[in-house]
Amino acid sequence: MKTNNKKSAVRITVSLLACSFLAVTAGCGVDDSDTSAHSASAPTGPDAVITSPLPRSKTPAPSAALGVKAQAQKILDAMSLTERVGQTVMTPLNVATTSPESVRGAFVDGKVGSVLFLGNWNGGTSRLKAISDTLQGYAKAAGGKGGKLLVATDQEGGQVQHLQGAGFSRMPSAVWQGTQSSTALRKFSAGWGSQLKSAGVNVNLAPVLGTVQTSTRASNAPIGALNRDFGKSAAGNAASGAAFIQGMRDAGVMTSVKHYPGLGAVTGNTDFTTHGILDTTTVIGGDQESAFVKVLNGSAGGSSGKPDMVMMSLATYSAIDAHNPAAFSHTLITDHLRGELGFDGVVTSDSLSAAAVSGIPPNQLGVRFLEAGGDLVCVGAPEIAQQILAGMQSTARDSVAFRKLVDASALRVLALKISAGLVQA
């Protein structure tokens, strides 16, 4: 995920090649690498983030006549196969360099139900809101059975803050955030979330819950070296993560914890390399996973501290499933995360245009993710996104078993949208 020591033998993700800025990755995307303004030594006063908490906004309640799942099923039943597959894909848009028109076909023809904002954006909230509204207009013009789009970005703070400019506070790193009390961090997060909401963004692919376990922070390229964790023990990271989630929820913004089951024990960055991404120490029920478990079961922050999504890592965990990266592991997603931990929300992938999965044919990436139990394919490269979508559509046409997986995943995505007031049956 996070280093610039690219290997020439590795096919680097197309999104990174397309970006004109120096890449430091977020959970599913990239950001600039200007460390001087984002380090853990950022100013500690409230002026460094936001001067006052903004009003909380409540997520609209689903219709009382039908439960959320029943409403989702009603919508799904009216959808074509193309529309169902489209709900399981999040297409990327580099807002700093690319016009919304460039991705219009993904929504009109591909019926894609989500978009990921990437890029070193410095245009502020009002300009971004105009882009968001344009994309929502494409989805509506395409028929709109899936309701409004999930509009996501990586807005962690520090080196991973894709959206900046007028209306956006400069967010300190997660390590700085971890020095704050849960009450203070929740207020800060609510302010940052309100800024996202005003720009038309309704999903923040954050926070990172990895717990650094390498010999030094610098040797943990994806997390520790970039101050993307909260800088604490697993229990402390869980508490700060829950506060961050609560603040975003106060602002009406959904969240995704990442990168399950944790990237704190690897040395390589899955976005840029296939080396150093084998985790030999993390086990189910161990310390690395425990921050996620505490947040998911509510012991770190109650029900308001639970995330809407879980993002899967692209590292491989030999003590859990030695044959598959976490995002393609039926053992981790279906058997453990869903079966043993009981998580029935949306499971998203880390960027499937990353170097870590470069050996897999692009048209099979989405298929393998859904077969493992995932729901929402996150991808940073438009070209790869198109191949993923085509591969899923083709497989769904040919395979009854895969169509059932598409239906199950689309149902969870629709249920999330209903709970967020983005679609009605």
User: For 259-311, how does the pLDDT look when each residue is reduced to its tens digit (9 = 90+)?
Assistant: 999 999 999 999 999 999 999 999 999 999 999 999 999 999 999 999 999 99
302: left (phi over 0), alpha (psi -120 to 50) or beta: left
Mean pLDDT confidence for 101-128? 96
8 A C-beta contact, residue 256 and residue 203: yes
* Residue range 141-158, pLDDT digits in tens: 888 799 999 999 999 999
CATH of segment(s) 62-419: 3.20.20.300
Quickly tell me which residue has 């390498």 as its tokens: 214
**Whole-number Cα distances in Å, 112 to 104, 147, 246, 385, 404:** 10, 11, 28, 10, 18
* pLDDT for the residue numbered 65: 52
Summarize pLDDT for 34-87 with one digit per residue, the tens. 333 333 334 344 334 443 333 434 444 444 457 999 999 999 999 999 999 999
How does DSSP assign 294-340, residue by residue? HHHTTTTT-GGG--SEEEEPSSEETTTEEEEEGGG-HIIIIIIIIII
Q: Confirm if 169 and 202 have CB atoms less than 8 A apart.
A: no
Q: Give pTM, 2 decimals.
A: 0.87
At what angle are helices 182-198 and 234-250 packed, to 10 degrees?
40
Token reading at 7: 């290997």
What is the enclosing helix (H) or strand (E) of 199?
Answer: none
CA distance 132 to 174: 27
Mean pLDDT, to the nearest integer, of 105-130?
A: 96
Q: Give the range among 21-30, 218-227, 359-368, 404-413 with minimum mean pLDDT.
A: 21-30
Q: Which of 325-336 are b and which e, b meaning 16 or more Cβ less than 10 Å from the residue's Cβ?
A: bbbbbebbbebb
Tell me, what's the pLDDT at 105? 95
Q: What does the mean pLDDT of the chain come to?
A: 88
Q: Which helix (H) or strand (E) segment is 223 a member of?
A: none
- What is the percent of the chain where pLDDT is above 70? 85
